[in-house]
Amino acid sequence: MRVLLQWLLFFVATTFTTETMGAPNKTPKLSPIDPRLRDLNIDNLATVSSDLETFFYNQTLDHFNYKPESYTTFPQRYVINSKWWGGAHNNAPIFAYLGAEGAIDGDIKILGFLPENAPRFKALIVYIEHRFYGQSNPVGSMEKSVKNKNLRGYFNSAQALADYAEVLEHLKKKLHAHNSPIIVMGGSYGGMLASWFRLKYPHIALGALASSAPILYFDNITPEDGYYSVVTNDFREVSENCYTTIRKSWDEIEKVASKPNGLAILSQKFKTCSPLKDPVDLTNFLDSTYASAAQYNAPPKYPTTQICQGIDRASKTIDILDRVYAGIVAYQNKPCYNMTQQVSETSIGWQWQTCSEMVMPIGITSKVSMFPSSPYDLQEFINNCKKLYGVTPRAHWATTYYGGHDIRLVLSKFASNIIFSNGLRDPYSSAGVLEDISDSILAVKTTNGSHCLDILSSKEGDPEWLVKQRQEEVQIIKRWFGKYYHSLRVLKQ
Ligand SMILES: *[C@@H]1O[C@H](CO)[C@@H](O)[C@H](O)[C@H]1NC(C)=O
Ligand SMILES: *[C@@H]1O[C@H](CO)[C@@H](O)[C@H](O)[C@H]1NC(C)=O
Ligand SMILES: *[C@@H]1O[C@H](CO)[C@@H](O)[C@H](O)[C@H]1NC(C)=O
């Protein structure tokens, strides 16, 4: 039971509670910004912009069946900003942000790409919340939903894409905007959804901007060590000493923990908010701190640099753990460090999604890893999910339904109009599409970028490479529109 609880608590973190990685909580967080840094108290979208209007669409619970319960409906939230829209009579475009594993409110607040570029394209913006999250839950509670065997079966990506299709068709009808081209956009899991939406619903979306979408992390297309090797490289690039110190610290933690008063020593050294009950709580905390620092390694602060500067400055200190702690303080100076991971709607919902179809085998196998070896164990993962939900994860379903194997060969033959954007310092970029596939399936990547940086709000002082990445994406979308409006004119003549 203790272990079971741990999976729940540590779901969003990346942990190695055992020698192997097989717990459903082992998929690192997938979100445009570090959920721990997100302002969770956004009740009122009007404080973000008075131009936002909230609507609810009467959504069908089950798009793929005709059983009586399939016809059940639930209110799905979508939010519109029509301030810059050029109108249906001009066939002005629609930017559709596809929500991911959380309430839509937080995303609306942080996304810059849509409102910053809507004026130049005279685009309407719509943000659609993912089913089961936020205010789009059929029974009003994520906890209740995932416990309900009949209901949670409808909580999957295929149903979510069908929701988006219905909402967008509904919106076009409502606005009489039949010929308005739609570009779908998303980040992380939402980025995967955006790219898959373009492949599954080309008649609804003209193109997709898929930011930091690890669509190749399924079914062992990407080596399991991909994620953590990028984390390791990020730290090693900043400082060899930093990398070595962290690498050595795990054994040291184990050594101290095995002393009679070891946990008390560790609690004191790492200023934990409450006394440590298990050294794993500390290693989990450190692991997820390093992983997040790498994933959200954004300018101007660059968290990995902050941590390494802390460690390097303390390098005269003999004690390895004091040095590691100095790194944590340099990154986040807090009165105490809370080693208990927060359980959130996102952690509960995503755990179900990973235990059903979003099976991403992430492990640690490299001999030069900054982290202790922790190979992915599919069998253990399956057993854990069975204990949690009584179901066997469909580890191959994502590639069966969406593809991914031989992606160049496959997509170059039939697909078009997808931007896969990545920052190569983002550990999830290891499973991103990093090379152009055709003249309209394009990889727009930056060497020093991190997770979803391109779609976040631009800032004064953004580095030139980031400004360029965003401009490049705008130019590509402009070309898609150019061709689309040309075809429209030709066909309507
Ligand atoms: C939603 O649609 C269903 C089925 O068409 C209908 O029975 C129900 O009244 C609708 N609910 C709302 C709030 O419009
Ligand atoms: C630590 O985090 C947990 C989970 O979010 C929370 O319940 C607890 O109150 C926090 N403790 C402190 C001392 O902040
Ligand atoms: C990336 O960052 C490194 C280290 O800060 C720097 O040396 C390098 O020039 C940067 N690369 C690009 C392409 O900006």
pLDDT of 27 reads: 65
Q: Model's pTM, two decimal places?
A: 0.93
Domain ranges (residues) in the chain: 42-211+406-492, 221-331
Q: Is 63 annotated in the active site?
A: no
- The residue annotated as part of the active site, out of 287, 426, 454, 462, is 426
Q: Is 462 annotated in the active site?
A: no
**DSSP bridge pairs for 75:** 58
> Could you tell me the distance, in angstroms and rounded to a whole number, from the CA of residue 331 to the centre of ligand 2?
20
pLDDT of 37 reads: 55
> Could you tell me the distance, in angstroms and rounded to a whole number, from the CA of residue 271 to the centre of ligand 2?
14
Compute φ and ψ for 127, nearest 5 degrees: -110, 125
pLDDT of 39 reads: 45
d(CA 94, CA 389): 39
The answer to whether residues 452 and 466 touch, using CB atoms and an 8 Å cutoff, is no
pLDDT of 2 reads: 25
pLDDT of 348 reads: 97
pLDDT of 23 reads: 58
Q: Is 188 annotated in the active site?
A: yes
Grouping H, G, I as helix, E, B as strand and the rest as coil, residue 76 is: strand
Q: Ligand 1 test: best mutation among 55, 56, 58, most atoms within 8 Å of CB?
A: 58
Task: Kindly state if the Cβ of 333 falls inside 6 Å of ligand 3.
Answer: no
Q: Which residues line ligand 2 (CB under 6 A)?
A: 273, 338, 340, 342
Fold match between 42-211+406-492 and 221-331?
Answer: no
pLDDT of 34 reads: 72
pLDDT of 315 reads: 82
CA-proximal residue: ligand 3, atom 1 (nearest): 448
- What is the number of other CB atoms lying within 10 angstroms of the CB of residue 339? 22
Residues 6+ apart with CB under 8 A from 303: 292, 293, 294, 296, 297, 331
From its phi and psi, is residue 140 left (phi > 0), alpha (psi between -120 and 50) or beta?
A: left
Give the number of the atom of ligand 3 that is nearest the alpha carbon of residue 446: 13
On the question of a cis peptide bond just before residue 93, with omega within 30 degrees of 0, the verdict is: no
Give the CATH fold of the 42-211+406-492 domain: Rossmann fold (3.40.50)
Give the CATH fold of the 221-331 domain: Four Helix Bundle (Hemerythrin (Met), subunit A) (1.20.120)
For 211, the enclosing helix (H) or strand (E) is: strand 207-211
Dump the DSSP string for 216-227. T-STTSS-TTHH
Grouping H, G, I as helix, E, B as strand and the rest as coil, residue 379 is: helix
Grouping H, G, I as helix, E, B as strand and the rest as coil, residue 444 is: strand
Give the number of the atom of ligand 3 that is nearest the alpha carbon of residue 465: 14
Residues 6+ apart with CB under 8 A from 89: none
Mean pLDDT, consecutive 10-residue segments, the chain of 493 residues? Answer: 27 36 63 62 63 97 94 97 98 98 95 97 98 98 97 97 98 98 98 98 98 97 98 98 98 97 97 97 97 96 97 90 98 96 94 97 97 96 96 97 97 96 98 98 98 96 98 98 97 85
pLDDT of 35 reads: 65
Grouping H, G, I as helix, E, B as strand and the rest as coil, residue 396 is: coil
Task: Kindly state if the Cβ of 54 falls inside 6 Å of ligand 3.
Answer: no
Q: Which two tokens stand for residue 224?
A: 């399991």
